[in-house]
């Protein structure tokens, strides 16, 4: 039977190896099953988390907010971060094959009428350990590794967000250059913009932009995106200040948007895409075809 197969997988998984057999069997009361076809989205960063997913058949692709990808196969779990923190999703998951998952309901797991509180606590603690290890690893290496690899079609460096290093003053054109890159990432396959890093990969820091603190910097960036690209697209963008070798940098992770993102310049709107390691405005005659192929194919 399906439920027996599920419980066997759970019993042999490290997440549950501290549970008693009776607790393993009680999990059947909190399980649900869902099927997905290739291309179906299980969840994205805008979805309210409520389940921990176990792959029973098929395969999935996890795309993280830093635009890295991970393949998830039979016997693997996903959705741990959202299961613990319902205000946060670390990425989006899409089925790449006809697939079946069993889902552990968060609300039922925390309801003592279904699961012993002691057993539920053991599961939550094990999930928290896995998440802490994962986040610590990314904090220590990911941005540093991105700088080491250099600019590409999905990575771009900019020395400042708003300060012109030649005229030594604020410059709207510098802000515009950053927004062009963000819009292009949204319209292509996503990407990462690092502020405070020069073209050669040297970390310059954020002091030159002369924000009184990092919160003011992040608020300013969010306002620029809202005003010039649109509030709708903020869900695809995650900005954070990270320290690399003692230097603060602004990291902006952009997921691919599900609809076209236009950048407003005065009374006009322009459509930008990534072409190799650079950003380009698409000619009006080519926008329609590109949008049809990128967003509606």
d(CA 84, CA 92): 16
For residue 133, what pLDDT is reported? 61
Ordered DSSP codes for 199-247: TT--B--SGGG--SSHHHHHHHHHHHHHHHT-GGGGGGEEEEEEEETTE
pTM over 0.85? The answer is no
Average model confidence (pLDDT) for the chain?
Answer: 88
Phi/psi for 122 (5° steps) reads -60, -40
Going along the chain from its start, the domains and CATH numbers come out as 2-140 (2.60.120.10), 150-295 (3.30.950.30)
For residue 4, what pLDDT is reported? 85
Q: At what angle do helices 214-228 and 172-187 cross, to 10 degrees?
A: 70
With beta carbons less than 8 A apart as the criterion, state whether 94 and 42 touch.
yes
For the chain, residues with pLDDT lower than 70 are 48-49, 65-68, 86-89, 132-141, 297
Which residue has tokens 């054109």? 173
For residue 87, what pLDDT is reported? 62
For residue 140, what pLDDT is reported? 46
For residue 177, what pLDDT is reported? 97
For residue 229, what pLDDT is reported? 97
For residue 86, what pLDDT is reported? 65
Helix (H) or strand (E) holding 170: strand 169-170
């Amino acid at each position: 039977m399906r439920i027996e197969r599920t419980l066997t997988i759970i019993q042999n998984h490290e997440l549950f190896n501290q549970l008693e057999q009776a607790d393993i069997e009680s999990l059947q009361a909190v399980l649900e099953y869902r099927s997905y076809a290739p291309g179906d989205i299980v969840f994205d960063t805008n979805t309210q988390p409520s389940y921990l997913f176990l792959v029973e058949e098929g395969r999935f692709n996890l795309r993280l907010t830093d635009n890295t990808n991970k393949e998830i196969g039979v016997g693997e779990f996903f959705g741990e971060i959202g299961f613990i923190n319902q205000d946060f999703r670390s990425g989006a998951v899409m089925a790449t094959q006809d697939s079946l998952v069993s889902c552990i309901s968060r609300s039922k797991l925390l309801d003592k009428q279904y699961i012993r509180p002691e057993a539920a606590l053991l599961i939550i603690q094990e999930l928290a350990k896995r998440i802490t290890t994962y986040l610590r690893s990314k904090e220590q290496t990911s941005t540093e590794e991105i700088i080491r690899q250099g600019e590409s079609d999905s990575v771009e460096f900019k020395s400042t967000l708003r300060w012109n290093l030649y005229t030594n003053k604020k410059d709207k054109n510098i802000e515009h250059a950053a927004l062009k890159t963000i819009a292009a990432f949204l319209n292509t396959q996503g990407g990462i913009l690092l502020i405070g890093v020069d073209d050669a990969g040297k970390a310059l820091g954020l002091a030159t932009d002369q924000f009184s603190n990092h919160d003011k910097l992040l608020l300013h960036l969010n306002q620029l995106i809202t005003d010039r690209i649109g509030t709708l697209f903020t869900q695809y963008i995650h900005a954070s200040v990270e320290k690399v070798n003692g230097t603060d940098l602004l990291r902006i992770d952009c997921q691919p948007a599900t609809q076209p993102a236009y950048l407003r310049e005065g009374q006009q709107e322009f459509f930008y895409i990534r072409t190799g390691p650079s950003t380009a405005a698409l000619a009006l005659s080519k926008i329609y075809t590109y949008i049809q192929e990128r967003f509606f194919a």
